[in-house]
Amino acid sequence: MLLRYVSVSSIIYAVKFCTTSSVCKIMNKPTSDSVEKKILITGALGQLGQGLGKLLRQVEFNRNCKFGKENVIMSDIVKPPKTMRDKLSPYTYLDITDLSLLKSIVVNYEIDQIIHFSSLLSHVAESNMQKAMDINVQGLANVLEVARIFNAMLFVPSTIGAFGSTTPKVNTPDLTIQRPNTIYGVSKVYAELLGEYYHTRFGLDFRCLRLPGIISADTTPGGGTTDKKLRTPTYNISAMSFTPSEIAEAIRKYIPHFKIEYKICPLRQSIADSWPESLDDSLARADWKWSHQYDLNSMTKEMFKLLISPNDKT
């Protein structure tokens, strides 16, 4: 069994990939000005949203375009626990299937960019296909249309699950056959193609990355890009692959007596078996200098650092 993962730092890279000097051009600002952008994150209470929101509020990406706490609006469909409210604020309720509500939030908060994380993932989506259609298909269509109407840049993550059993398994290229066997994968192919259609038909600034499994950790972003170097709105990215026994060995450096046991879910395993073993991300590395910052050992060290010192996280 081979596990394919990338750290949350790749998402930060993706956001910088989306937010370069083009912001200044879109907003008709001279590039010498400092532009404060307003960003909306949908599905912000999920695996990626909280960590990304924290980093976006802290980091100045370049001298022309910067973010801050009040400029990053977190949103989701649940009421945050009291212990998280200060950390998430500004936060707003958003059901992504409600087009009118989405429009009002984009207008009232003066949103310039949308980072769209709201979706039902593979296994849950298979158990509730209609809900997955509502969120992953109609919700995505709503976001694209609102981004078009209000001239907002849009980033949507795709997935290794957008491929299927007929896709080349090793070093899967950016452009290849995509015949996924899950509703989640099908919805992500739809997102890629509809986003590229909006980009071609309406000039929407749409960006998309296909991600393998995500391991979250607080990281500092680096590198950069310019729009003219991009060959496609959708790129593969990849970082590291490892077996369960290899990650167990890495954990034993911190917990010497750690043991790993397996309880395999046949449905989930059949989904994972349809995915590629590795992604060819050479275009991302060439076009916008993507590079991963963690290997297995450094990732394990960082995760234990965060787990041992939870009070340091804000």
Q: Is the dihedral of CA 85, 35, 157, 126 positive or negative?
A: positive
For every residue of the chain, DSSP letters joined together read --EEEEETHHHHHHHHHHSSTHHHHHTT--TTS-EE--EEEETTTSTTHHHHHHHHHH-B-SSSEE--GGGEEEEESSPPPHHHHHHH-SEEE--TT-HHHHHHHHHHTT-SEEEE-----HHHHHH-HHHHIIIIIIHHHHHHHHHHHTT-EEEEEEEGGGS-TTS-SSSB-SSS----SSHHHHHHHHHHHHHHHHHHHH---EEEEEE-EEE-----------GGG-S-SEEE---EEE-HHHHHHHHTTTSTT--------HHHHHHHHTS-S-B--HHHHHHS-------HHHHHHHHHHHHH-GGG--
Tell me which of 5, 91, 184, 198 is the catalytic residue. Answer: 184
Q: How far is residue 69's CA from residue 292's CA, in Å, rounded to a whole number?
A: 26
Look up 91 and say whether it is catalytic: no
Residues annotated catalytic, as ranges: 184
